Amino acid sequence: MLNKALKKAKREGDTKVSVTFQVNSELKKEFEKLCKDEGVSMTAMLAALMETAIEEKKNGDMYSSIASYLGNQLSKMTHELSELEQFAHDPQDYHAIDNYKDEINRLRMMKNYLEGES
Torsion of CA 80, 82, 83, 88, to 10 degrees: 120
Q: What is the mean pLDDT of residues 89-96?
A: 83
Query: If you average pLDDT over every residue of the chain, what do you get?
Result: 81
pLDDT in the model for residue 32: 94
Based on its alpha-carbon atoms, the radius of gyration of the chain, rounded to whole angstroms, reads: 20
Give the model confidence (pLDDT) of 29-38 as tens digits.
999 999 999 8
- pLDDT surpasses 70 at 104: yes
pLDDT in the model for residue 30: 94
Contact call for residues 6 and 54 (beta carbons, < 8 A): no
pLDDT in the model for residue 63: 67
pTM of the full predicted structure?
0.46
More confident residue, 4 or 105: 105
Return the domain boundaries, the chain: 2-59, 61-117
> Residues of the chain with pLDDT > 70: what percent?
83
Helix then strand count (H, E) for the chain reads: 5, 0
> Residues of the chain with pLDDT > 90: what percent?
11
pLDDT in the model for residue 118: 47
Give the model confidence (pLDDT) of 37-72 as tens digits.
988 889 888 888 888 888 877 776 666 777 788 888
Q: What are phi and psi of 18, to 5 degrees?
A: -80, 135
Quick one: which of 115, 112, 107 has its CA closest to 74? Answer: 107
